Structure 1
Amino acid sequence: MKELIEYILQFGNLNKQQIALIKQKATEIELPKGQYFSEAGKIPRQVGFVLEGVFRFCYYNNKGEEITDYFIDENHFVTDYLNFDANMAASEYVQAVTDCRLLVFAKQDWNDK
């Protein structure tokens, strides 16, 4: 949790109530290497903050070839945000490249003010 708070503080200040709210809403999970955080064809339901590990965004082209788009590593947010925000099915996969540990926020918690 400390990593997330420090990350946010790079961009502004948080008061004690805001920090408490973040701590209340976040859930720590682990994803083993190869598991998907988000899958094409499904609506992304959570935002994650990577504490340990690496994720990749990938998709399949019209020839059926797997294409890696980019990677997300520690101390960054991971989600298919456009589809998460629009409540639409994703066109890409978000897959753990290594064993990963992250803080996740469900859509409802993410949208709480």
Structure 2
Amino acid sequence: MKELLKHLREYISVSEKEFQQIETYFECFEVKKKQNLNSFKNISNYNFFVVQGCLHMYFINEKGENQSVQFAIENWWITDLLSLHRNKESVFYIQAVENCRILSISKKNQEKLLAEFPKVERYFRIIYQIALGASLYRIKFLYQASKAERYFHFIKHHPEFAQRIPQYLIASFLGLTPEYVSEIRTKAFLKQV
């Protein structure tokens, strides 16, 4: 839980005593690689904080292929926010890319936590504003950048993901095929030789 306390303190002031109460709202558990945390058409009832490992959120497109839309590594949150908020069926899966240690908070416990600790509501507002801004930037980049620019920008600016996530998932996230990623990586390597 110390990881969550450290992350909270990046955005709000939390005493040890307050955190002892805050942590009672969370459950800690482990997830094995390739294990799903939620499923398509089920309601997302939990918000997940990654203590260790990597998760990805995806949907299955009309071709029957997984289309990644989000990754979460240490100190990142992940859930289908609209499903959680609106109590509607999720359109996404959340799956472990690596073995993970996760903190989860149910929707009910999160509402109680926010009522008891308004400063935690401020924390969530800040991290969701950052997440929304990053999502908008990603959409803009997907529209404006070439396929190769998308890939090399991701690799350069997000090495914490690029070194841990399989290339086929990075390709999916960027709207590329694994074959195309392999091709541009080979071309880049040959230019360096």
TM-score by length of 2: 0.56
Q: What is the aligned partner in structure 1 of residue 138 from structure 2?
A: none
**CA-based RMSD:** 1.3
- Higher percent of residues as strand: 1
Q: After TM superposition, give the deviation of residue 21 of structure 1 in Å.
A: 2.2
Q: What is the aligned partner in structure 1 of residue 46 from structure 2?
A: 46
2:91 is the alignment partner of 1:73:
no
Tell me which amino acid in the other structure corresponds to 2:71.
F
Gaps of 5+ in 1: none
Identity %: 27
Aligned pairs, number? 113
Tell me which amino acid in the other structure corresponds to 1:108.
K
Instruction: Spell out the pairing of 1:5-24 with structure 2 (5 A cutoff).
Output: 5-24=5-24
Q: What is the aligned partner in structure 1 of residue 167 from structure 2?
A: none
Report the Cα distance in structure 1 between the residues aligned to 2:83 and 2:66, rounded to whole angstroms: 20
Range that drifts further, 14-23 or 43-52: 14-23
Q: What is the aligned partner in structure 2 of residue 86 from structure 1?
A: 86
Please give the secondary structure, in 2, of the residue aligned with 1:18: helix
2:60 is the alignment partner of 1:34:
no
TM-score by length of 1: 0.92
Q: List 4+ stretches of structure 1 deviating above 6 A.
A: none
Q: After TM superposition, give the deviation of residue 102 of structure 1 in Å.
A: 0.9
Q: Any idea what the Cα deviations from partners look like across 1:66-93, whole Å, max 9, x if unmatched?
A: 2122211111112112211111111011
Query: Which protein, 1 or 2, shows the higher relative CO under an 8 Å CA cutoff with sep ≥ 6?
Result: 1
Larger Rg: 2
Q: Any idea what the Cα deviations from partners look like across 1:48-106, whole Å, max 9, x if unmatched?
A: 11011100111111121221222111111121122111111110111011111011111
Report the Cα distance in structure 2 between the residues aligned to 1:99 and 1:87, rounded to whole angstroms: 28
Q: Any idea what the Cα deviations from partners look like across 1:14-41, whole Å, max 9, x if unmatched?
A: 2455312211111110011111112110
Q: What is the aligned partner in structure 1 of residue 162 from structure 2?
A: none
Tell me which amino acid in the other structure corresponds to 1:29.
F
Report the Cα distance in structure 1 between the residues aligned to 2:89 and 2:38, rounded to whole angstroms: 10
Tell me which amino acid in the other structure corresponds to 1:99.
N
